[in-house]
Amino acid sequence: MTVILLIAFAIAVSLPALVLGCECLLAVFPLRRERRSELGERSSLAVIVPAHNEEAGIAATLNAILPQLDSDDRLIVVADNCEDQTAAIARSLGATVWERTDAERRGKGFAIRHALSELESDPPQAVITIDADCLPLPGCVDRIARACNATGNPIQAAYLMRPPENASPGTLISAFAVLVKNYVRPRGLQRLRMPCLITGSGVAYPWAILQQVPHPESHIVEDMHYSVDLALAGTPPLPCMEAFVESQLPDARQAAQTQRTRWEHGHLSVILSQGPRLLAGALRNLSVSMFVLWLELIVPPLSLLVLAMSAATVAMAIACVLVGNWLPLAWLVGVSSIGVIGLSLAWWRFGRRALPLTALVSVPKYVLSKLAIYRKFVASPEQSWVRTAREPVTTESIPTGGPHFDTTPAPAKRTTSVD
C-alpha cells in the first residue's frame, strides 16, 4: 500500500514536468503552414492600447500599429490615470484617446473594460489589445485578426520579452523563461490544434465573445483568469505563433523583482482558484480541449517547478530507501528527464543565440533567488496591480525585422482579400 501511495504521489507531482516536456518537444517540429483560404477575411477592427504614464514609449507603439491598420480600422488609446503627456502624444499621432481617472479602480483590466463600454454604441467585429509598452512586429495585427474571424475564437500572438542591452545573466534567463511560457509551449499546443492561455499583449477577440464573457477588471493577471472564463464558455483562446509582439524586460533589480512577483503570484493564485473550476468543467463536458488547457494551467513558473521537482526527488529517494522499492523514484527521475530534454531542445532550437552557455551557469543562482518570491506568496501574496518601471520601448531597441529569438516567423505580408 505504501508503494502505491508513493507511485500516486510521484505521478501527481511530476505531471507538470511531463506536460512541459511534451509541449517543448512538440514545439521543435515545424508548424503546419496554413492555406490563405484558411486564414479568413479581415473583419472591422478596433485596436485598444491601455496606457498608464507611457509618454516615453507610446509613440513607438502607435507607430508600429498604424501601418498595419486598414482605412476603416480604429486605434484607441485608453489613458488610464495618466499624469503625463500620454494622451496628447497619442492624439497627435491620430489615435482616438479616451481618458479615464479613477484612483481606486486602475490597471489594464479596468482600462480595457472602459474602452469596451465606449465601443458598444458602434462595435467592431473584432478587438485587438496591445499593451502600451509593446511593439507588434509587421503582419501581426492582420494575422491574428484574420485567424480570429476564421475561427470565432480569441487568438493569442507570441508575446516575447527582449532583454535590454548588456543585460545581466538573470535577465537573460528570465527572457528565456518568458519565451518558453509565451512561445514554445503555445507552439506545441498549436501543433495539436489545442487552446492556450492568454499571455497578455497581442490578443484578438471577436466582439460577440467579449459581450458574452465580460473581460475581468481587478485580477493582477486578468489575462490568465480570462482564459479560464473563455474556455468554460466554449470559446477557448487559440495560439497563433506566426504573429509576434515584443516588449522589453526591466533590468533594474527592483523593477524586475516587482514584475516577477506580480506575474508569479498571479499565476499561482489562478492555479489554486481556477484550476479546480477548469478541471470540473472539463470532466462535466467531457472536453479534451478544456482538459488540455487545465494541464497547461497547472504548470507552475519554471523556477518553482525546478525547486519542487528537486525537493520531491530527494524526498522520494529517502522514502524508496525506507520501503525498499525504487519504482516511484524511477518514475519521478524519468519524467524529470523528459522535462529537461524538452527544455534543452527548446533552448537549442529557439534560444541559444539570445541565451549563451555562459549565462546558463547562472541558472541555479537565478532559481534560488526566486525563493523570496514564493515565501512572500505564502505569507502575503501580491493582490494589487503596480506598474513596472522600465526603459521605454523604442523601434531601435526592438528591431522590426523579426523576433530576437530564433522563432523564424512567417514572412509578413498584408493583403485585403484572400484567395
d(CA 53, CA 194): 37
Residues 6+ apart with CB under 8 A from 93: 59, 62, 63, 66
Cα–Cα distance for residue pair 192/379, rounded to 1 Å: 39
Q: What is the CA radius of gyration of the chain?
A: 21
CA distances from 157 to 201, 243, 246 (A): 8, 5, 10
Is 264 within 8 Å of 220 (Cβ atoms)? no
215, 374 in Cβ contact below 8 A?
Answer: no
CA–CA dist 313, 336 (Å, integer): 9
Report CA 152 to chain centroid distance, whole Å.
20
Q: Which residues pair with 246 in a beta bridge?
A: 135, 160
**DSSP state, 416?**
S
Residues 6 or more apart whose CB falls under 8 angstroms from that of 283 comprise 291
Nearest to 298, CA basis, from 44, 97, 20, 81: 20
Secondary structure class of 317 (helix, strand, coil): helix
C-alpha–C-alpha distance, residues 179 and 163, integer Å = 11
For residue 403, give the 3-state DSSP assignment.
Answer: coil
Report the alpha-carbon angle 160-164-168, nearest 5.
105
What is the spatial distance between Cα 398 and Cα 133, in angstroms, rounded to a whole number? 11
Rounded to 10°, the helix 169-179/253-285 angle is: 20
Beta strands in 237-349 (DSSP E): 238-248
For residue 290, the model assigns a pLDDT of 96
Domain boundary assignment for the chain: 12-23+300-379, 44-297
Q: Where are the alpha helices (DSSP H) in 28-132?
A: 58-65, 86-92, 108-119
CATH number assigned to the domain covering 44-297: 3.90.550.10
Written as one letter, the residue type at 298 is: I
Query: What is the residue-level pLDDT of the chain in tens, covering all 419 positions?
Result: 788 898 888 899 999 999 999 999 999 998 877 655 556 778 889 999 999 989 888 999 999 999 999 989 999 999 999 898 999 999 999 999 999 988 778 778 888 999 999 999 999 999 999 999 999 999 999 999 999 999 999 999 999 988 888 888 888 888 899 999 999 999 999 999 999 999 989 999 999 999 999 888 666 678 888 999 999 999 999 999 999 999 988 765 555 566 677 777 778 888 998 999 999 999 999 999 999 999 999 999 998 999 999 999 999 999 999 888 889 899 999 999 999 999 999 999 998 888 888 888 888 888 888 888 888 777 766 555 555 555 556 555 554 445 667 775 444 444 333 33
Q: Distance between CA 126 and CA 203 in Å, rounded?
A: 10
Which is nearest to 142 in space by CA: 49, 30, 242, 247? 242
What's residue 415's pLDDT? 38
Please name the amino acid found at residue 406: D
Interatomic CA distance for residues 192 and 175, integer angstroms: 25
Strands (E), 25-170: 45-51, 74-80, 96-100, 126-129, 135-136, 155-162
CA torsion, ordered 80, 246, 219, 43, to nearest 10 deg = 80
**What's the DSSP call for residue 164?**
P
Note the pLDDT of residue 259: 65
Q: How far apart are CA 138 and CA 136, in angstroms?
A: 7
pTM: 0.88
